[in-house]
Amino acid sequence: MKTLTMALAGNPNSGKTTIFNNLTGARQKVGNWPGVTVEKKEGTLKWREHQLKIVDLPGTYSLTPFSIEEIAARDFILDEKPDVVVNIIDAANLERSLYLAMQIMELDRPVVFVLNMADLARSKGITIDAERLSMLLDVPVIFTVGNRDQGMDTLVETAIHAAQSSPGGKSGRKVKYNRDIETLISELIQVLEAQFHDHHPHPVRWTAIKLLESDQMVKKSLEELSPELEEKINQMAARSRSRLENIFHDDPEIVLTDDRYGFIAGIVKEVVTLSPRKRADMSRNIDLVLTNRFLGFPIFIFFIWAMFQLTFSLGAHPMEWIESGVGFLSARLDMLLPPGLLKDLFLDGIVAGIGSVIVFLPNILILFFCIALFEDTGYMARTAFLMDRVMHMVGLHGKSFIPMLMGFGCNVPAIMATRSLENPKDRILTILITPFMSCSARLPVYIILAGTFFGARAGTVIFGLYFTGIVVAIVSGRLFRSTLLKGQDAPFVMELPPYRVPMAKSLVIHMWDRSKMFLKKMGGVILVGSIIIWALSTFPRLENYTMDYAGEIEKITAQATDTASAGELLTPGVEPPPDMAEKISDLEKMKNQEQVAHSFIGTLGKAMEPLFSPIGIDWRCGVALITGLVAKEVVVSTMGVLYGIGDGESDALKAALKKSGMTPLSALSMMVFVLLYVPCLATIFTIWRETSAGWAWFNLVYTTGIAWGGAFLVYQGGSLLGF
């Protein structure tokens, strides 16, 4: 039994993913295309005696080598040679869809045309003569209605039939270009055939056309195949190009595009009949409200607010459960494991680390659900439409808005959400400035510090910090745009798809896929990161404490036992007197404090004191900032340890901070630093995954530099002004 590979291709919003989900159900896996961060979806299907591997190609309008999605789709068809390419066509949009279809047909694989959303087209009064279309192009054509699961059987059968009847690869009638162009194409074909004799890995006619279009990828592959021929062919192609330019006074690419559309217009005229049955267009009516001049923005702001409310308030409940679950687990482990290094590693390293990630799972699930909802209904494109003007001022695309906004929640999903941006430069830019959006993990730090030192004005200070983050993001954005990521921003040619009722199945799949990716990636890094930080703060072990803590604790316990009613032993279930517990925990905290001060991280913090002192931060806060690399919430708990207070006792910490000699100015400087410096390991790792190690390092250095500079300005400027 042979496995047949079936590739699904088509325009965005043509219902490709719906069909993919229908065919494969839950038997799918999501990954990336090799080398690029475009989602690659694969699934399997068993059909009678056939085993099918179904690959969902990225949705594109064309197969030019300008965007990574298009390159990924094209390379898959060219290199992997799928047994059949199923081209999903939005029946209501035949003319535009055929443009991609013509390009796919030029790639010489067996093709099946699927006219999807046939019901919608019918209701719009569009009738398509499938038989005639099939005859004209010599390609099997079928109708489906993806969201009602209609026509899937026919689809699979037709595809299998097409794959088996022409395994060599033959795909219907191709575009006939202008006579001048055809002459040049056949000249190039002759040379190519003379050289390669059928050994050319790609279809020859297609290669010739791409040479006329001066396609860099094709030129490169030709160079690899035969360097000596490459020069000759390139010269010939260049000559042909200049001839075409002379004749048509335009770029050959444009002329070819025009020709394709000419060919398509002819086909459409023959197969489509329009009946003037004008039904009320629901989608337009919805848009009258949602992108209305006056209502558009208020509604948009409401939706965003609702998304945040859902994410953070609804998410707070399961978050609590998970927290208590983690707490329970660590309590159990505390009881089960013998005291010692291993126990510390499990409790403070692994459990705490994993716990800190898993706690975000509800938030992330809800957030991704909302985003999937926005995307599947078609509202996402409208947000870009509404916000583009604003974002364009920063040199960004309207679609950058949602990721940046999500940054206020958590930077990690925000960075992953930049996948909706097509242009790689726009994406990198958005990724680089998103960390300046103050994420929710930074809030506890602000609350403690601002609450301690600014009292009633704390709210204003925190608002000011958020605002500073936005300003730094805008300034950095403009800076990068004019230096590192120079260049025209991508054209804002974006389809506004009709509104659709989302399918529950695809929403869930969408949400789960992305959350799974988040968990898989982040889990590992956080785990390693927390173990490292744990090790740094645990080693070297302090052998000689300034006092004998164990002895002291024993003494207290003994005292308590003595003072308890005479002769009566402490039995489990009888609470020890409260003052005893307090004393013991005080002693333990002091022990911890001494241990951390002595450890690598303490040494590191002290060594880095010269770096921190110009910005008014003492070594304890410095250490807290370093541990904050794992996650920003950790800053608060580290400060707790270093100032000798346990977790969750914010009042005590406030008092301790006040006593420690920290001034409002140095607190502000610290907050600015927390706002601006590297968000956390998970974010850095996400940046690495989504871009490259280089950009991740750059971001790390850049943000920390900006943070230090900002804090320096605040502290020194403030000191000069006499605060």
Partner 1 sequence: MNSRHEQEKKQFKQLFQKEGVDAFEKRFKVLDCFLKTEQHLTCREITALLRKDGNDMDSDFVEETMELLCQFGFAHRVQFESGPRRYEHRHLGMHHDHMVCVKCGDILEFKDEVLEQKQAHVAAAYGFHMLQHRMEIYGICSKCLSTRELLMPLCRARQGETCIIKSFEGGCRAQMRLSSMGLRCGDRIEVVASQGGGQMVVATGDSRFAICHGLAEKIFVHHAPPEIDYDIPRISGHFPLETEEKIFLSAMKQGQEGIIVRVGGESVLRRRLMEMGINRGTRIYVEKYAPLKDPLELIVKGYHVSLRVEEAANIIVEHVKTVKHP
Would you tell me which residues interact with partner 1 (CB under 8 A)?
A: 61-62, 64, 66, 92-93, 95-96, 99, 124, 126, 247, 249, 251, 253-254, 257-258, 261, 278, 283-284, 287, 291-294, 296-297, 381, 384-386, 388-390, 392, 398, 488, 491-498
Q: Rounded to the nearest whole angstrom, what is the least distance from the CB of residue 231 to partner 1 in the complex?
A: 25
Q: Rounded to the nearest whole angstrom, what is the least distance from the CB of residue 297 to partner 1 in the complex?
A: 6
Within its chain, how far is the Cα of 467 from the centroid?
A: 24
Q: Rounded to the nearest whole angstrom, what is the least distance from the CB of residue 94 to partner 1 in the complex?
A: 9
> What gap in Å lies between CA 610 and CA 606, rounded to an integer?
8
Q: Count the neighbouring beta carbons within 10 Å of the beta carbon of residue 723.
A: 12
Within its chain, how far is the Cα of 369 from the centroid?
A: 14
Give the nearer residue to partner 1 in terms of CB position, either 278 or 520.
Answer: 278
In the block, residue with structure tokens 């770096």: 611
Question: Could you tell me if 159 and 298 are in contact, meaning their C-beta atoms sit under 8 angstroms apart?
Answer: no
Within its chain, how far is the Cα of 572 from the centroid?
A: 52
Give the nearer residue to partner 1 in terms of CB position, either 376 or 388.
Answer: 388
Q: Count the neighbouring beta carbons within 10 Å of the beta carbon of residue 66.
A: 13
Question: Could you tell me if 642 and 594 are in contact, meaning their C-beta atoms sit under 8 angstroms apart?
Answer: no
Question: Could you tell me if 530 and 352 are in contact, meaning their C-beta atoms sit under 8 angstroms apart?
Answer: yes
> What gap in Å lies between CA 129 and CA 15, rounded to an integer?
21
Give the nearer residue to partner 1 in terms of CB position, either 259 or 586.
Answer: 259
Give the nearer residue to partner 1 in terms of CB position, either 42 or 258.
Answer: 258
Give the nearer residue to partner 1 in terms of CB position, either 28 or 97.
Answer: 97
Within its chain, how far is the Cα of 667 from the centroid?
A: 33
> What gap in Å lies between CA 61 and CA 99, rounded to an integer?
8
Q: How, if at all, do strands 3-10 and 272-274 pair?
A: unpaired
Q: Rounded to the nearest whole angstrom, what is the least distance from the CB of residue 296 to partner 1 in the complex?
A: 5
Q: Rounded to the nearest whole angstrom, what is the least distance from the CB of residue 680 to partner 1 in the complex?
A: 35
List C-alpha distances in Å: 522 to 212, 321, 356, 535, 681: 46, 21, 11, 20, 9
β-strand partners of 31: 40
Work out whether the CA dihedral 159, 165, 167, 168 comes out positive or negative.
Answer: negative
Q: Is 586 helix (H, G, I), strand (E, B) or coil?
A: helix
Q: Rounded to the nearest whole angstrom, what is the least distance from the CB of residue 456 to partner 1 in the complex?
A: 37
Q: Rounded to the nearest whole angstrom, what is the least distance from the CB of residue 144 to partner 1 in the complex?
A: 19
Q: Rounded to the nearest whole angstrom, what is the least distance from the CB of residue 502 to partner 1 in the complex?
A: 18
> What gap in Å lies between CA 420 and CA 401, rounded to an integer?
11
Q: Count the neighbouring beta carbons within 10 Å of the beta carbon of residue 77.
A: 22
**219 φ, ψ to 5°?**
-60, -40
Give the nearer residue to partner 1 in terms of CB position, either 290 or 675.
Answer: 290
Give the nearer residue to partner 1 in terms of CB position, either 258 or 513.
Answer: 258
Provide the 8-state DSSP code for 487: S
Work out whether the CA dihedral 136, 137, 143, 147 comes out positive or negative.
Answer: negative
Of 325, 478, 494, the closest CA to residue 394 belongs to: 478
Give the nearer residue to partner 1 in terms of CB position, either 204 or 384.
Answer: 384
Give the nearer residue to partner 1 in terms of CB position, either 287 or 618.
Answer: 287
> What gap in Å lies between CA 723 and CA 718, rounded to an integer?
5
Give the nearer residue to partner 1 in terms of CB position, either 10 or 315.
Answer: 10
Q: Rounded to the nearest whole angstrom, what is the least distance from the CB of residue 13 to partner 1 in the complex?
A: 9
Give the nearer residue to partner 1 in terms of CB position, either 2 or 278.
Answer: 278
Provide the 8-state DSSP code for 288: H
Within its chain, how far is the Cα of 615 from the centroid?
A: 34
Question: Could you tell me if 457 and 101 are in contact, meaning their C-beta atoms sit under 8 angstroms apart?
Answer: no
> What gap in Å lies between CA 414 and CA 652, rounded to an integer?
35
> What gap in Å lies between CA 668 and CA 676, rounded to an integer?
12
Q: Rounded to the nearest whole angstrom, what is the least distance from the CB of residue 186 to partner 1 in the complex?
A: 21
Give the nearer residue to partner 1 in terms of CB position, either 151 or 398.
Answer: 398
Q: Rounded to the nearest whole angstrom, what is the least distance from the CB of residue 404 to partner 1 in the complex?
A: 17
Q: Rounded to the nearest whole angstrom, what is the least distance from the CB of residue 151 to partner 1 in the complex?
A: 22
Give the nearer residue to partner 1 in terms of CB position, either 23 or 256.
Answer: 256
> What gap in Å lies between CA 58 and CA 713, rounded to an integer?
47
Q: Rounded to the nearest whole angstrom, what is the least distance from the CB of residue 277 to partner 1 in the complex?
A: 13
Q: Rounded to the nearest whole angstrom, what is the least distance from the CB of residue 61 to partner 1 in the complex?
A: 5
Give the nearer residue to partner 1 in terms of CB position, either 56 or 287.
Answer: 287
